[in-house]
Amino acid sequence: MDEATPNTYDIAIIGGGGAGLTAAIYAARARRRTVVFERLITGGQIATTELVENYPGFPQGINGFDFAQNLVQQAERFGAEMRYEDVARIERLSNGTFRVETNEGGYRAHAVVATAGADYNKLGVAGEDEFVGRGVSYCATCDAAFFQNQEVIVVGGGDAAFDEALFTTRYASKVHLVHRRADFRASALLQERVFAKAKIDIVRNTVVARILGTEAVEAAELRNVETGATQTLATAAVFIFIGQTPNSHLLKDLIALDDGGHAQVDLRMHTTVPGLFVAGDLRTQAARQLVSACGGGATAALAAEAYLAEAGIGEG
Amino acid sequence: MADTPEVTDTTFDADVMKSDLPVLVDFWAPWCGPCRMVAPIVEELGEEYAGRVNFYKMNTDENPAVPSKYGIRSIPSLLIFKGGELTGTIVGFRPKSDLKKRLEEAIL
């Protein structure tokens, strides 16, 4: 870590999902020295989505991973720099610049766009951690094919759970869709498709209480939340899609968060800290859609550019 | 950057189990997005560890026997073998620094 001559950027973007990569395209096209820090996979949540069907302009849909790769290429083409590093800390210095500390070094930036998104929630039940990679999965797109002609469980009631339940029917002999409530948040179209699939068995008002097995997942104990009745269901896999928690730990000392841990921003994605912008699933009241994340990233980058211009930083 | 060589159900015994050097095998499939992110990192590690560790990739769509033998139910999975023994398993996409640490532990 070289503190004397840190790498200085005009705009540092934290997180390489749809919001961050779109912000990078806009920031780089404004001729700002732009960096994107990504700790894992570019694309974020969309990278493991088999088919994105609701992004405007792709009538046949597009594979989420390919879409993300396209965004990276587009951002790099205009000069944005990708750094596969995990940001540990963001600090605003007394001179108004930001210090971004990663697992590999320290950087300076005149403005920060935080688009760190959200991570999937775990069930938090016995057997879950033990059987990750041996039947417990958070990515049906990656793992469904290993359960050819076997029965599997998909947990959740939102778009992700419904999408993945439909995907797993390509391989599984039976898909038990387990949801803790009677109603579902998934879009009406996805609900129609799921309800029309003979292979999908809907289990309402029910939670997974335990995941059982020896070498790998063999069964799950289900509990009806209304009656308290439990049953053990033989299954080879438990795919878990029960919502997400925003990655706001980096921001909690800098700005106010809402009850769900999302960052408060104005309509230009500006936080209460001058020069700090937040977009995508990390911000409050996000629609949590790829298109709105990308739109928010563009808004944040334009606002960051305006902020730098007003502060007289660089020639833009 | 050199492509990681393929190992198959047929060549696994000779290339991995009977290898003098420790071996890392990257289990992947063309339809798996995270696998496509792991591939270039495995290639980089292959160059860094040349002469110390052999690196292979195995397409789980084309080779059912070895993945089934090792109970692979999630990809990407990286399995590390030393002297024909499985000494390390890394499931899912991990950053390069993590992979190096786990690899070092498994080849000690």
Task: Give A21-33 pLDDT, tens digit per residue.
Answer: 999 999 999 999 9
Q: Could you say which of A204, A223, A240 is where a domain stops?
A: A240
Report yes or no on A82 lying in a domain.
Answer: yes
The reply to whether A279 and A294 lie within a common domain is yes
Domain match, A272 and A231 both: no
Residue A56: cis peptide before it, omega within 30 degrees of 0: no
Q: Answer yes or no: do A42 and B37 touch at CB < 8 A.
A: yes
pLDDT band per the 50, 70, 90 thresholds, residue B1: low
Q: Which residue has the higher pLDDT, A316 or B5?
A: B5
pLDDT digits (tens, 9 = 90+) for B7-41: 999 999 999 999 999 999 999 998 888 888 899 89
Burial class (CB in 10 A: 0-12, 13-18, 19+), B38: buried
User: Mutate which of A104, A128, A143, A218 to disrupt the B interface (most B C-beta within 10 Å)?
Assistant: A143
What does the alpha-carbon distance between residue A152 and residue A218 come to, in Å, rounded to a whole number?
10
Q: Is residue A80 part of a domain?
A: yes
* A212, β-bridge pairs: A219
Of the two residues A48 and B3, the one the predictor is more confident about is B3
Per-residue pLDDT, A196:
98
pLDDT for residue A70 is more than 90: yes
pTM for the full predicted model? 0.83
Per-residue pLDDT tens digits for A116-169: 999 889 999 999 999 988 999 998 888 999 999 999 999 999 999 999 999 999
> What's the sign of the alpha-carbon dihedral B69, B71, B75, B81?
negative
Task: Tell me what pLDDT residue A315 has.
Answer: 57
Question: In which residue are the tokens 């696994």 written?
Answer: B12
Do A223 and A144 share a domain, yes or no?
yes
Residues A85 and A149 in one domain: no
Q: What is the pLDDT of residue A176?
A: 98
Q: Does B54 touch chain A (CB under 8 A)?
A: no
d(CA A291, CA A209): 35
Confidence of residue A96 (pLDDT cuts 50, 70, 90): very high
A140 touches chain B (CB under 8 A): no
Mean of all residue pLDDT scores within chain B:
93
Residues A159 and A187 in one domain: yes
Q: Give the residue, B45 or B36, on which the prediction is more confident.
A: B45
A271 occurs within a structural domain: yes
Out of A214, A240, A266, pick the residue that ends a domain. A240
Among residues B32, B39, B72, B91, which one is catalytic? B32
Q: How large is the average pLDDT for residues B74-95?
A: 93
Mean pLDDT of B44-67: 96
CA–CA–CA angle B90, B95, B99 (5° rounding) = 40
Q: Do A213 and A253 share a domain, yes or no?
A: no
- For the residues B49-56, what does the mean pLDDT come to? 96
At residue A4, the pLDDT reads 40
Which candidate in A102, A142, A215, A238 is best for mutational testing of the B interface (most B CBs within 10 A)?
Answer: A142
Domain boundary pick from A212, A240, A268:
A240
Please report, for the domain that includes residue A92, its CATH number. Answer: 3.50.50.60
Instruction: Determine, yes or no, domain membership for A130.
Output: no
Task: Tell whether A29 and A72 lie within a shared domain.
Answer: yes
Residue A287 CB neighbour total at 10 angstroms: 11
One domain for residues A112 and A22: yes
* Full residue range of the structural domain in which residue A82 is found: 7-120+244-310
Residues of A designated catalytic: 139, 142-143
Q: What is the pLDDT of residue A206?
A: 98
Kindly state whether A305 is in contact with chain B, defined as any CB-CB distance less than 8 angstroms.
no
Mean pLDDT to the nearest integer, A58-78: 95
Give the burial class of A315: count Cβ atoms within 10 A of its Cβ; 0-12 exposed, 13-18 middle, 19 or more buried.
exposed
* Per-residue confidence (pLDDT) for residue B95, from 0 to 100: 82
Calculate the average pLDDT of chain A.
Answer: 94
What average pLDDT does the segment A212-230 reach? 96
Task: Please give the Cα distance from A306 to A111 (Å, whole number).
Answer: 11
Helix (H, G, I), strand (E, B) or coil at A196: helix
Q: Is residue A261 part of a domain?
A: yes
Q: Residue B94 catalytic?
A: no
- The confidence score (pLDDT) of residue A316 equals 44
- Regarding whether A11 and A115 lie in a shared domain, the answer is yes
Question: What's the rounded mean pLDDT across residues A196-221?
Answer: 97
A193 and A212 fall within a common domain: yes
pLDDT score for B54: 97
B12-107 topology per CATH:
Glutaredoxin (3.40.30)
The percentage of chain B sitting over the pLDDT mark of 90, rounded to a whole number, equals 78
Residue A191 vs residues A159, A163, A165, A174, A194: alpha-carbon distances, Å: 9, 9, 11, 17, 5
Are residues A170 and A263 both part of a single domain?
no
Shared domain check, A249 and A225: no
List the 120-139 stretch of A: residues with Cβ below 8 A of B: 132-135, 137, 139
- In A78-168, where does DSSP find H-type helix? 140-143, 159-168
Sheet holding A217-224, edge to edge: A206-213, A217-224, A230-234
Interaxial angle between packed helices A188-196 and A159-168, expressed in degrees from 0 to 180 and rounded to the nearest 10 = 30
Report pLDDT digits (tens) over A267-296. 999 999 999 999 999 999 998 899 999 999
Number of separate domains in chain A: 2
